[in-house]
Amino acid sequence: MKRVTRDRWLTPAEADKYNAVRAEIEAEKPEISARIRQRMAEQRKADATQFGGQTVGQRIRAAREALGASQVNVATAAGISPSYLSQLEQDERDPALSIAARLARALQISLDDLASGAA
């Protein structure tokens, strides 16, 4: 049984209900995370379109394609996983500064070019 407060423990029925709710939450987490990442990607693309520029993901993909490199090659050179690079290119995630610097180095462009599209 799980302790709720200092003075009260869950009954077996309450513990079963608690565990069922926790299991349901855990089962739904991946889907919820995917929907959030998709909405964030759509918002980034909308913002970039509104201001006439490219998203960070679009700049990463353009630089990679200009090099003629695969996602696997660039990801390996930057020390990240290919799936993470794919998420970056699809604007599902934003890179941390340290990862952006490693990506810029792997893509042979400046960090300024990667971040803003202009040196």
Query: What is the tens place of the pLDDT at every residue in 94-114?
Result: 899 999 999 999 999 999 988
Quote the pLDDT of residue 5: 60
Residue 2 forms part of a structural domain: no
- Predicted confidence at residue 1, as pLDDT, reads 54
- 86 located within any domain: yes
- What residue numbers bound the domain in which 49 lies? 12-116
| Residue 87, SS3 per DSSP | helix
pLDDT for residue 32 is more than 60 = yes
Q: Has residue 91 got a pLDDT over 80? A: yes
Task: Give a yes or no: residue 112 inside a domain.
Answer: yes
User: Could you tell me if residue 105 is left (phi over 0), alpha (psi between -120 and 50 degrees) or otherwise beta?
Assistant: alpha
Structural domain count, the chain: 1
Domain presence at residue 75: yes
- Backbone phi and psi for residue 8, each to the nearest 5 degrees, phi listed first: -140, 135
* Mean pLDDT on 70-79: 96
Domain containing residue 111: CATH number: 1.10.260.40
Percent of the chain having pLDDT more than 90? 57
The answer to whether position 1 is within a domain reads no
